[in-house]
Every structure is written in structure tokens, then in C-alpha cells.
Amino acid sequence: MSDLKKIRDEFLSKLRSKLDLSQVNQLRTELFGKNGLITKQFKKIGSISVSERKKYATELNNIKDELQNLINSKIGEIEISEVNEKLKKEKIDVSLPERSITRGKIHPVSQTIDEISSIFSEIGFSVEEGPDVENEFNNFTALNTPDHHPARDMHDTFYLDEKKQKLLRTHTSPVQIRTMINNKPPFKIIAPGRTYRSDSDQTHAPMFHQVEGLHIDKEINMGHLKGCLNYFIKEFFEVDKIKMRFRPSHFPFTEPSAEVDIGYKIKDGKIVIGEGDQWLEILGCGMVHPNVLKNVKVDPAKYQGYAFGIGIDRLAMLKYGINDLRAFFDCDHRWLNHFGFDPLDVPTNYRGLSR
Amino acid sequence: MKITFDWLKDHLNTSLKEKFLIDQLTNIGLEVESIESLSADNKLFKVAKIIKTEKHPNADRLKVCEVDIGEKDIRKVVCGAKNATAGLITIYAPPGATIPKTKTKLVIAKIRGVTSYGMLCSESELNLSNEREGIVELPKSKYHKSVGKNYFQNNNPNSIDLSVTPNRPDCLGIRGIARDLAASGFGKLKNSKEQKIQSKIKHTLSVKITKEKGQGCSVFGSCLITNVKNTESPKWLKDKLISIGQKPISAIVDITNYVMLDINRPLHAYDADKIEKGIIVRNSKSGEQFTALDNKNYKMENGMCVISDSKGVLGLGGIIGGTRSSTELDTKNILLESAYFEPKSIRKTAKKLNLDTDAKFRFERGIDPLSIEDGLNKAALLIKEVCGGVISKIDVQRIEKFKAKTVKFDPNLFEKVTGLVISRKKILKILEDLGFKHKKEKKYLKLTIPSWRPDISQPIDIIEELARIHGYDQIKTIEPIKKRHKPTLNKTQKLFHFLQRAIASKGYVEAITWSFTDSKYNNLFKENKKEIKIINPLSSEIGVLRNSIFSNLIFYMRKNLNRDIKDLSLFEIGPIFSGSNPGEQETVIGGLRSGKMSRLSWIEDDRIVDIFDVKKDIIQTLIEAGYDRSKIHIDDTTPNYYHPGKSGRIFINKEKDKIVGYFGEIHPNIIKKIEIKTESLVGFEIFVDNLKRPKKLLRDQKKVYQVSDFQKSERDFAFIIDRNFKSQELIEIISSINPNLIKNVDIFDVYEGENIPVDKKSIAINVGIQSLDKPLNDEDLEKVNKLIIDTVEKETGAKIRS
């Protein structure tokens, strides 16, 4: 047996036994160190006859590669197992609490406004806004509610001057007026916002939210009004069927006017919308009064259409089971956290309005 | 407006049931608010006979009565009435019954140690009259066989409460409601066959309406009834009034009330003997006064419509009468008034004097001007029937002649507005039933409006009548078209919604607070803004419009902290006001944070929230909204409600006239003043209207995508610089040296103290240098290094730290 084969066999068997890292390094030095066995063999190449030299060199290189690979993989194995040993000692209690979370919330009224806007957006309404402080004309007179009209008594108004010319809007209907004065028909808008009445008890707050709707075009009739509201209510409460009742009523700014009731029942102490034989009033609406159109320089002989006003807070209460209107504005952090919505929960049509 | 089906039947022939009535009323616009069932409870009240009375052992004024209520067992009832004696037939209410007057429910109770089963009732307790002395004494002859029977007849009708809209004065009378019902197919309206006063007796009291500007009375009808004997009303009349919750008073008052309720014709009865030399209807003069029937004294201004005599004001026409000429039980001669008062005049006067009466409510809505004589006939004849006396001829003074209004109506308009088709025949039928007269004029109908419908004046009113009576349920639902012509939200609205959710996503809980606030809180944040007072606030705590978003937010912050919630982040987005004109408002976001971060955390040390927390929240929000960080500039000029040394002001593109926001610690004096208990209170404001919406869409603002694959080098510098020097400026100076090479400038340490002069600080900066075109060698880097040091030293006076 040649020297080479001997070295190979000897070291292969040595490397196959169980070794730690220093033992492997020791074997490596024995083989490849300055005076290592393999190193020495390389030095010998020059002294070998030319005819033998090529064969010898090839064999030596093969053995060198074989041993070196084995040493490398041996070292890799040992390192991995040493890391594994070390990691075992680093185990921690992963059930300890995470770093603290702060979670913001969107107010239920804001969320409801987004839901409402999303629904009306689908059927072509755009959002308009107006100031909270209004003049008497936009809030009352232009809306066919002159000073001597008893209907004014229904609006307990906050005034900002003794002459009662400046006031906090009692409804969002003045946005109708502003929109129609500043633009040309057709109009198809909703106007959500803050409204104010000097009224305060369990079911009334001096500030609340309303969304006004207005659709004026050449051939818009009460059938369209019914269709629009029916669509809205169904979408808003996310039910397939809705029981709705249009009841004749009176508002100075619409004629014919209606109040709309929806059917409901109480099941397990919770209100179920769309079923049952109880009625709940949820909005007022009607065909825009020709006097209103005249007041904003729209020709009632050419244009007609409908308007409606819905209490946003009340819708939110019904949909989300909130009992107390006053709590909306009381800013109790616990309440806001309970009824508020995650900011990522943006109502959209394709993901649904609510989760 | 309360009605009963029975009363309706005085005017309506119908075989339909009450159940259908309720629905039908609502369907035609007379909303049923509530139905009060009297009969159920009334069954409990029994005719009873006192068998024996004994003095109450523990109370001198009380008696213990043994009462026969027609059952086997005799009831023991404690009673305080003097007239409770053996043999008396009276009315007994058992435990469980509700006393009509007090609305209290009786229970078995011990009264001074003696158990009382129910109660013996007085007339007043049963709302039968005002008689409060003693219990009811029923005539023995009539009732001795009725002991144990129900006192009230079983068929006592339900009282139906209607909400009558302000445009329908005619439905403030039972007949008006009957007419509407008949038109809708619910029975047939009976003809009113009112008898007329057939009198030859002269009306001897002179009545005059002065013709003057603003005269609020156009017609004044009256008649005299002499030698009457005012008395209790007959049972049918009392029952009628009681059935709708009215209390009988005396025949004359009850009769005028009855006529008012029946046909909506308010009347007023004067004691004719108390009128000095006749009636003058005129405008009041400033300073005149009188005592009204509510026992209050009213002082008048010029131009209020008063009924007066030679001595002065007797009453306010159509609103309230006066005590000087009021009828009493011993009144012998009465003057009965039936007049027409102008709604506007009534409303103006009542508002000025802050008076609200039933008559005012009716006159301001408009009374049928043609009902003057009907009212007098009906009431005078009833008074005569009940109280006797002699009726004079009717005298009607008028300064204006009634002219029926007409309207030209195109029946095709009905379909155009409602989308509903009904036959011409049906249209005419409905209008006739409602009292309209019609005449065909080419394609139009010329309609004469009934005198009792002041609300009708134009074609749209006719359309409403037809739609209402025909039924809204007949209108077809037209599905909406899903088509959008305009974006739903404009840029400003989109930004509003984006910011709202961006702030919430930083851990803030959204609050909605009132737009008004307490001036005490408002003053802390108002700076030099004008205070905007509400002239009629509900309370002083909400007496002014808020000048700042913080005035309410801080109030509720405190409230929550007092609930022992410590680490809070609240925000609100909404209007603040700078003046009392429409539009003098802007949209602001305000956020407040209190307490600590990582309170009670096992892993991190806790620390108080500080200015750099809110700075991060506001800057991150702006960046998310699309504003480039490098364009956001900060200085330290802030309002006085922030800590003067720990607050900042934000602009975009250095446009100092458009303040985008503030952030910082709330001024410690304010925290002290309103006694907020927290370790730290920091906040920010964003003035949404000052945020310029870039003309270009975000997607168009993005530059060409370009990155460098060459090695990036980093160099650290430390400069010693003036303590007040803004680090922001240092970053800007370095960044602008060569924007193509300098990729980042980060401050990683700021140090003041040992080894640094007192008025200086040391700022350590890391600069990343990278070229798009080539790898940089040592020489290139050295050049950049030197340039940075030279520029900073030159422009800021800083010294590089060696």
C-alpha cells in the first residue's frame, strides 16, 4: 500500500469517530499544517520521476480534496450542534405580554357618516358642506319658513345676535340653499353635519348630527324619493328586506311631505330592523317646495325633486345598539373605546359597510 | 289634539272599527301619537254603599268605613271625608285602580295602623268636577239598586291623541278630522244641520273695530244672552269633555270649549254687566296693562290687538281674556264673542308677551273666517238649553270682506310630481269631499278653496291633498340608478377623512364635543380671538362658541383622568369659530395625550409622554397625508397656552402665513388652573384649512424611480454650536451642500454639560454619502467631508469637535 493510501485510510477512520472542534482542528494541522502529512507529500512531487509524477499528483489532489471536504463538513456539523446547544439555554417565556399597544378609535358618528356617504356615493350623490353659523334667510326664510310661521316653533334656535339674524343652524337644510344658489341644476347632494337646537333632555342634545339629501332634476318624482330612501335604509342596516311606511306630514320646505317609519321588533332585548309590526320614525322628506326653488332662482316649472333629512346619531344608535344619545358627546373614554371603530375599518362597498 | 271615535261619529257615518281608524288617521297625515284606554281602568270603579262608619282609633279626622261593593265580603276603607256616613251611596276604587286626577295607582295600605282596601272617591279625584269637598254623593233614588255595578259606562271610548301638523288648523276640530276621514273613504261626513238663532231681540251692546294700521281683528261677531243661570254641565257634555281629558268647569265655559273642540271655533264669553259702554277692538298703546285669566298682569306694547271697553283693556284678542270681565257661576248676562284674528298679529303678540294658550294656538294657525255665525248659533243655543236665558240677534262687525281663494290646477301636474296616475273622476271626488268647489277651464280646474283651509294657495298644495287622501302607499318605488357624475368627495373632504383616520391610527380615540363651550375654559385658549356669545344659551357652561379645539377637549380630558384612566390620547376634528358670521370658522384637529408610555411594563422602562411623541404624531400624519418631510418646517413661535420653551409651530414650504399646526406641552399654569392630575399633558393642533392641497395628484408627484448600486459611505461629525441654534437648520445646510451626494443627515446625539461651554451644545451627526454615477474613493470622500465642515462652520459659527 502506498503512503498516500495509508494516510487516507488512517485519517478517514479518525475523522469518522466522535470529535470536538479542537480535535478536528488538530487532525487538520496534522494533515495540512506546515509540516502536515499531506503538505509533505506535496513537497515530494518534485522528486518523483516525470513518468510517475502526473499520476501521483492526481492521486494526492483527490485525497487532499476528500480529506479537506470531510474536515469542513465535520466542522459545520459541530458548529450547528454547538449553536443548537447554546440556543437551548436561551429559551424565554413567550407568553409574557407584548410591548404595550395603543389603539385609536373612530367615533360612531364619524363612522356612520362614512357609511352614509359610501351608500349615497353608489347612487351618484356627492357630499356638500356648509357653515355651522347660518343667517336667518338660509336656515328659515329661504326654506319657506317665514318668521310668522308656526313651524318655526318646532326649531328651538340658538341665536348669536339680538336681531336674531345669525344663528346656529337648526338643520343641515341650509346647505341645500347654498348649493342651489351657487350652482346650476341638476343637483344631487347629501350634506352631513352638526346641527343645533336649544333643547336638552334624555333624548335631545343641544348638538346633534343630520344628513340632508337633495335631488333636483327635470323629472324626479315621489317614486324616485321612495326608491332612494328604500335603497338607503336597506343598505345602511345591511338587510335584504325592509318594511317602510311613508306617512303624510308637513314641513314648510317640502310638499308633499312625508315622515318615514321603518318596521322593527324587539328580540331578546335587542332591536331588529326590517321585521315586526312596530313602527319607528327615522326621517322626514318630501318634494322640494316650489317656493324654495323660487327663492334660490331655480325654475319650478322646469325642475323638481326631493329632499330628505335624517338624524345621524339616531341611525347610529339603532344600528349599533346605543341607548343614550347624550353619551355620544360625553367623551367617556370607556364608552368611546367600546362603541368606537378601528381606524382601518373604512366603510366601503366591496368590503361591506361594517364588520 | 285628542279625539274619541264616539265624538267623531257625531260627524261621521261609518261602520268601520276603531282598529282601522287608527291606521287610517296615520295614513292621511293625522299621526296617532298615543291611544289612551279609559274603559279598561274605569271598569274598576264601583257604585258602593257605606254600611257603617267608625272613628279611626289613631286619627281624629279619619273614619274607618265598612263598604258594600255588591260582593259577599264587606270592604274596610279608611276615609277622611266629612260626608262619609252610613247609608251614603258613593263611588269606590279598589286597589289596582288608577285615580284619574292624580294618576296614582292604589295599593292596599295601612293608614295610621289600619289597613285600607281601596278608596272612596271625590268628584275632583274622578275628574268629574272641581268638587273636592267630601266624597261623591250619588242620588239614592237612582243608584240604590246599582250597588256593585260599574259607575262608568263600559263603552267609554279610547282617547286618541293626534299630532296635527301646523298647516292643518281645520283638524284642530273634530269635524275637520271627520271630513278628512270621509274623503279617504272611511265613512261619510254627516251634513251639519246647525240650528240658527231665531231672535228678534236687539243686541244692545255696541261693538266697534277701529280701522287702523295693523288691526289684528277683521271680523267680530257677537250676541248677548241675558238672564242665564250658569250651572254644572249636563252629563253628556261632561262625559264628552272628560273623554278627551278635559275637565268640566261650568256650563258656559264647557259649552264654549265644546264648540271649539267640535268645529275649531274659539269663542269667548264676557260677563256683559262688567263691560263699560260697549266693546272696542283696537291696537293697544304702550304701557297699557290688564290682568289675564291666568292671573298674571301683562303690560302691552304699541299695536297689539286688544278687546277693550271705555275703562281699558278687557283681553288680548284671540289669545286670552281678562279677569275684569270673566264669567262666573253667578253671571247673569253674557256677551258671546266669535271673531277672526289675523294669525301673524296673534303670533307676534303672543311671542312678545311669552303667552301660549289654546286660543292662540288655533288663531295663529288660521281659523275658518266663515265659522263666526256657526259658532255663535251652536254655543248660544246650547247655553240657552242648559242655562236658560234670552238670546239677542247676532251682530257682526267686519272691516274686511271674506273672499274665497281660488287656484288654477292642471291635473296632469299630479302625475308629474307623484309619479302616480289617478282618474279625473277620483280627483274630483277627493276634492269635493274635502270641500273644494271646481269648475273646468280648458285643461285646468278652477278650484275654490274651502274657507277652513288657509294652508292651501297653490297647485302643489292640491297635489299634496290628492296624494295624501289617495294614499302614499300607492306611489311606486323607482329603483335608483347607480351612476356617478361627480366625485363623491372633493379634495378638502378627502383630506378631512384621511387625517381623521391617520390620527386615530396613532392611538388617539376620537371624541365629538359640542361646538359651544364654557367661556371659563375658552378664555384659556382663545388668545386674542373674539368671544362669540350665544344670546340664549341653555346654560352658562355652554354659553360661547369655541375659539379653540382645546377648550372642550381639555375639559373632557380632565373628566376622564378623574375617572382614573391615566394614559389617554383623545382627539377631535371639527369647527372652531372666529366670528359670528357664517363662514367665520375653520376645521381643526386637536389631540391631547396624558400620562406615561409603557406604564407598568415588564419589558420597558416607563416614561412620561413628551413633546416629541406628539411631534411624531403630527409629522407622521402629515407625511402620510402626502407632505414631504423635507418641506415641513418648524419654529418655536406658539400660542400662550403651550409651554413657551417646549412647543413648536409647523409650516409647509416655509409659508409662514399658513400655520399648519402647533405641538408641545400644555402650559403648566393651565394644568394647574383647571386642576388636571397627570404626570404630563402634551397636545397638538392641525389647521386643516391651512393645509394646501397640492395641485398635482400624489401619483403624479412621484419622481422617476432611481437608485444607486455604488457603495454608500457614512461619516460622523460632532459640532459645538450655539445652544439656541435650531438643529433643523443644521440638517438643511448639510443636506443642501450637495443633494446628489448627501443621502441622509441624521442627528444621533445632542449633548450639553461637562466639557461644553455653557451657552453651547454638541450635536453629533451621521451623514450618508453616495453617488449615482461612480464609486467614491477616499479622495472624493475627503473632499465632501471638508466641504461639510467648512460650510457648517462658516454658516453657523459652529466648531467641529476634535
- Find out whether A170 and A97 touch, Cβ atoms under 8 Å: no
**What pLDDT, in 10s, does the model give residues A216-260?**
999 999 999 999 999 999 999 999 888 999 999 999 999 999 999
**Rounded Cα distance, A268 and A321, in Å:** 13
Q: State residue A42's pLDDT score.
A: 84
Q: How many angstroms from the chain centroid is the CA of residue A316?
A: 17
Q: How far is CA B511 from CA A188, A346, B574, B619, in A?
A: 30, 18, 10, 21
Q: Which parts of chain B register pLDDT below 70? A: 38-41, 153-156
**What pLDDT, in 10s, does the model give residues B765-777?**
999 999 988 999 9
Q: State residue B156's pLDDT score.
A: 64
**What pLDDT, in 10s, does the model give residues B31-47?**
999 887 765 567 788 89
Whether residue A304 is contained in a domain is answered as yes
Whether residue A331 is contained in a domain is answered as yes
**Rounded Cα distance, A158 and A198, in Å:** 6
Taking CB atoms and an 8 Å limit, are A250 and B479 in contact across chains? no
- HSE, CB side, 13 Å, CA atoms: give it for residue B450: 20
Domains B40-143 and B406-470 share a fold: no
CB contacts, 8 Å: A242 with chain B: none
Whether residue A355 is contained in a domain is answered as no
Residue B485 sits at the chain A interface (C-beta within 8 Å): yes
Long-range pairs for A2-7 at CB < 8 Å and ≥24 separation? A3/A41, A4/A41, A4/A56, A4/A59, A4/A60, A4/A63, A7/A31, A7/A37, A7/A38, A7/A41, A7/A63
Q: Which residue has the cell 297653490?
A: B458
- Nearest Cβ partner for A121 among B477, B488, B513: B488
Q: How far is CA B400 from CA B211, B221, B256, B281, B363, in A?
A: 10, 13, 25, 14, 17
Q: Where are the alpha helices (DSSP H) in A96-251?
A: 108-122, 136-139, 173-182, 222-237
User: Scanning every residue of chain A, which has its alpha carbon at the shortest distance from the alpha carbon of B499?
Assistant: A343
- Find out whether A308 and A229 touch, Cβ atoms under 8 Å: yes
Q: Is the pLDDT at A337 greater than 70, yes or no?
A: yes
Range of lowest pLDDT (A267-276, A327-336, B611-620): A267-276
- Find out whether B685 and B621 touch, Cβ atoms under 8 Å: no
Strand-strand pairing, B395-398 and B279-283: unpaired
- Find out whether A68 and A36 touch, Cβ atoms under 8 Å: no
In sign, the C-alpha dihedral spanning B560, B561, B563, B567 is: positive
DSSP B123-190: TTTTTS-S--SS-----HHHHTT-TTSBSS-TTPPPEEEEE--TT-GGGGSHHHHHHHHHHTTSSEEP
Q: State residue B40's pLDDT score.
A: 56
**Rounded Cα distance, B780 and B471, in Å:** 89
DSSP A83-104: HHHHHHHT---TTSPPSPP---
**Rounded Cα distance, B396 and B494, in Å:** 67
C-alpha cell at B125: 279625584
* A70 and A167 inside one domain: no
Q: State residue B39's pLDDT score.
A: 53
Q: Which residue has the cell 449633548?
A: B751
Q: How far is CA A215 from CA A115, A321, B502, B644, B721, in A?
A: 19, 31, 33, 52, 65
Q: Where are the alpha helices (DSSP H) in B246-371?
A: 251-263, 343-353, 358-363
* A256 and A320 inside one domain: yes
Residue A126 sits at the chain B interface (C-beta within 8 Å): yes
Residue A298 sits at the chain B interface (C-beta within 8 Å): no
Please give the CATH topology (third level) of the domain spanning B708-800: Alpha-Beta Plaits (3.30.70)
**Rounded Cα distance, A172 and A307, in Å:** 11
Q: Looking at residues A112-136, what average pLDDT do you find? A: 96
Say whether B584 sits in a helix, a strand or coil: coil
DSSP A258-279: EEEEEEEEEETTEEEET-SSEE
* A249 and A314 inside one domain: yes
Choose between A275 and B495: higher pLDDT.
Answer: B495
Taking CB atoms and an 8 Å limit, are A109 and B512 in contact across chains? yes
Mean of pLDDT over chain A: 91
* Amino acid occupying residue B292: A
* A294 and A211 inside one domain: yes
**Cβ of A28: how many Cβ atoms within 10 Å?**
20
SS (H, E, C) B455-484: CCCCHHHHHHHHHHHHCHHHCCCCCCCCCC
**Rounded Cα distance, B596 and A113, in Å:** 33
DSSP B3-66: E-HHHHTTTEE----HHHHHHHHHHTT-EEEEEE--HHHHTT-EEEEEEEEEE-TT-SS-EEEE
* A131 and A280 inside one domain: yes
> pTM score, two decimals?
0.85
Structural domain B2-38+157-189, CATH architecture:
2-Layer Sandwich (3.30)
* A172 and A315 inside one domain: yes
Instruction: Return the bridge partners of A266, or none.
Output: A271
**Rounded Cα distance, B315 and B289, in Å:** 10
Most B CBs within 10 Å, among A116, A221, A277, A341, to test the B interface: A221
Range of lowest pLDDT (A153-157, A290-294, B547-551): A153-157
Residue B477 sits at the chain A interface (C-beta within 8 Å): yes
Taking CB atoms and an 8 Å limit, are A256 and B417 in contact across chains? yes
Is B40-143 a CATH 3.40.50.970 domain?
Answer: no
A196 Cβ contact partners less than 8 Å away, ≥ 6 residues apart: A132, A157, A158, A168, A169, A170, A206, A207, A208, B515
B741-B744-B747 Cα angle (round to 5) = 135
CB pairs under 8 A between A and B: 261
Strand-strand pairing, B279-283 and B207-209: parallel
* A284 and A155 inside one domain: yes
Element (H, E) at B431: helix B424-433
Q: Give the domain range for residue A316.
A: 108-339
Taking CB atoms and an 8 Å limit, are B582 and A166 in contact across chains? yes
- Nearest Cβ partner for A228 among B168, B480, B559: B480
Number of domains in chain A: 2
In CATH, the number for domain B406-470 is 3.30.56.10
- Nearest Cβ partner for B500 among A110, A129, A226: A110
**Rounded Cα distance, B771 and B710, in Å:** 7
* A289 and A165 inside one domain: yes
A263 Cβ contact partners less than 8 Å away, ≥ 6 residues apart: A242, A243, A244, A245, A273, A274, A275, A276, A277, A278, A279, A280
Q: Looking at residues A44-64, what average pLDDT do you find? A: 86
- B-proximal residues of A, 189-228, CB under 8 Å: 194, 196, 198, 200, 206-207, 219, 221-224, 226-228
Taking CB atoms and an 8 Å limit, are B464 and A257 in contact across chains? yes
- Find out whether B254 and B230 touch, Cβ atoms under 8 Å: no
DSSP A21-89: HHHHHHHHHHHHSTT-HHHHHHHHGGGS-HHHHHHHHHHHHHHHHHHHHHHHHHHHHHHHHHHHHHHHH
Choose between A155 and A272: higher pLDDT.
Answer: A272
**Rounded Cα distance, B757 and B797, in Å:** 14
**Rounded Cα distance, B300 and B289, in Å:** 6
Whether residue A332 is contained in a domain is answered as yes
Among the listed residues B671, B665, B668, B670, the one whose alpha carbon sits nearest the alpha carbon of residue B647: B665
C-alpha cell at A223: 317614486
- A-proximal residues of B, 413-442, CB under 8 Å: 416-420
**Cβ of B483: how many Cβ atoms within 10 Å?**
9
Q: How many angstroms from the chain centroid is the CA of residue A37?
A: 72
Q: State residue B41's pLDDT score.
A: 65
- A-proximal residues of B, 583-612, CB under 8 Å: 583-585, 597-599, 601-604
Q: How far is CA A180 from CA A166, A308, B667, in A?
A: 20, 15, 46
**Rounded Cα distance, B273 and B251, in Å:** 19
Strand-strand pairing, B217-226 and B742-751: unpaired
Q: In terms of CATH, what superfamily is B207-398?
A: Phenylalanyl-trna Synthetase, Chain B, domain 3 (3.50.40.10)
Percent of chain B with pLDDT strictly greater than 90: 73
B38 Cβ contact partners less than 8 Å away, ≥ 6 residues apart: B152, B156, B157, B158, B159, B243
In sign, the C-alpha dihedral spanning B539, B541, B544, B549 is: negative
- HSE, CB side, 13 Å, CA atoms: give it for residue B51: 11
Q: State residue B38's pLDDT score.
A: 62
Whether residue A180 is contained in a domain is answered as yes
* A297 and A178 inside one domain: yes
B135-B141-B145 Cα angle (round to 5) = 85
Q: State residue A273's pLDDT score.
A: 87
Sorting pLDDT into bands at 50, 70 and 90, what band is A67? confident
DSSP code at position A155? S
Please give the CATH topology (third level) of the domain spanning B491-690: BirA Bifunctional Protein; domain 2 (3.30.930)
Among the listed residues A4, A33, A209, the one whose alpha carbon sits nearest the alpha carbon of residue A117: A209
Domain range annotation of chain B: 2-38+157-189, 40-143, 207-398, 406-470, 491-690, 708-800
